[in-house]
Structure 1
Amino acid sequence: MSDEQAIRDLVAEWTRATLAGEVERILPLMAEDVEFYVPGQPVMRGRAAFETGLRAVLASHRVDSHADVEQVEVSGSLAYCTTQLRVEITPLAVGASMHKAGRVLSVFRKNAAGQWQLARDANMLS
């Protein structure tokens, strides 16, 4: 499998695992020192911080996302990808769904085992 396909597969697995609410499937897809950049929010640093945040959201909401990977560029053990992302966040109880869409720029790096993991993610959803 090519590096580009491995990254595309990682994005697809992340999307499936999020919809299924299976946080434990998502965690190995990111580096321990991962950072997430979201407009208007402080940088979220580390896998543990992401896990805490995602578990809190999934306790009360269903998250359905559609990621259309537009571009993947690989150079050695680093790669980036641009994605058009659409997300629907629906309360498990009563309430209206929230819809967000926008572009994402993600940086991946190969770990010691040769697997790609998300290292940095700049999310421009609105």
Structure 2
Amino acid sequence: MYAVSIGKFTKTKKPKSKKVYRCVKRTKYTTDDPSRIAEDAISTLRDAGTGMRFSGMEEFGEAHDFWNDGHECPDDGPSDECERLELETCRDWIEKRVRELRKGESESLHLVLQDGFTEFIITGR
């Protein structure tokens, strides 16, 4: 069983605020399905836009040809196919990492956006 908490934070507009960010939305759920968690995480990346990755996952793009054996990106930059393959690789990594979580262990994924960030925390139960 896994507990998932997804928080969306935005910068506060008041310069005198004690906290720089405030939570604008929090979603929580529990599940036994690591693939559901991975797909929810990838949906967060898709919603954020092309090329968006959780902190620490940038290497999935930088080592694209390594992660996706036989695929070559076009000379003029990554294509929609490149994006799809990178997201699949990220999904596979997240699902594998979730399966490795023991009771009480957590994995935190952070997506930095222009006006805030999204925090995706998975905890083994």
Report TM bin, short chain. Answer: under 0.3
Whose helix proportion is higher, 1 or 2?
Answer: 2
Higher relative contact order (CA 8 A, sep 6+): 2
Whose strand proportion is higher, 1 or 2?
Answer: 1
Structure-1-length-normalised TM-score:
0.26
The structure having more radius of gyration, on CA atoms, is: 2
Structure-2-length-normalised TM-score:
0.26
